[in-house]
Amino acid sequence: MTDAPAELVHLDVADGVATITLDSPHNRNALSRQLVTELVDRLERVEADDDVRVVKLVSSGRVFCSGADLSEAATVPMQEGARAIVGVQRQIVASTKPVVVVVVGAARAGGIGIVAAADVVVVAEDATFALTEVKLGLTPAVISLTVFPRLTPRGLALTALGGEVFNGVQAADYGLATIAVPAEELDAKVDELVGQLATGAAQGLRETKKLLSADLLERIDTKGEELVELSARLFGSDEAREAMTAFLSRKKA
């Protein structure tokens, strides 16, 4: 008899605030099938809890989320993984409760999609972000559903075409983050903003969130499947395979 896998996503509820913690340090909080399944479950439980006013999504360790779990790529169809990332983004956008994401350290790929799906994003000034897909012969296909509408046009073009790392201050300038603060001030700022949001009446929060999210939800529902197929096609291309092999070789050198 094998032991059940350890829980990768924790949920704690106190004083009207639900805290969801990604806790999969062995793969840098990658979006494995288990982590996504648990995250979806926690978001569903929070949505059904009338005592919860605000959702706070955080991570353990120094990586918020590294994106898709590439170690599962050989066993999970590419469309399935991409579709799961679309689903998580949609669930956050569609939540009737404000979702606050807190980023310490790094966010990459699908992790940036989760960041962009949130209503309020508080990041450390030295947090790091990168849309590296262009360097791998890819494009940020499924995360473009939430990322592209959030960023300023110039910030988006620079980050998506350049593929370089940018920090928390730049993330706020570009529109990906709401605010960037020194790492030592992060917890206090998050508590302040979550406290402000929690003073909203449930109906007020629900109806305002619905108005704010309408266009983004329509975008996800209209374009989601098309971008899943684009992602799968590019991942399976010879050009992307060559680029990824070269990239990994440079990292090992």
- CATH number of domain containing 8: 3.90.226.10
Number of structural domains the chain divides into: 1
Q: Is 109 a member of any domain?
A: yes
Q: Is 1 helix (H, G, I), strand (E, B) or coil?
A: coil
Q: Is 192 a member of any domain?
A: no
Q: What is the mean pLDDT of residues 189-205?
A: 97
- Helix, strand, coil distribution of the chain in percent, nearest 5: 55, 15, 25
Give the model confidence (pLDDT) of 87-99 as tens digits. 999 999 999 999 9
Q: Give me the domain span that covers residue 2.
A: 1-183+201-253
Q: Is 193 a member of any domain?
A: no
pLDDT band at 1 (very low <50, low <70, confident <90, very high): very low
Rounded-to-integer distance, Cα 66 and Cα 31, Å: 8
CB atoms within 10 A of CB 243: 17
> In the predicted model, what is the mean pLDDT of the chain?
93
Q: Is 190 a member of any domain?
A: no
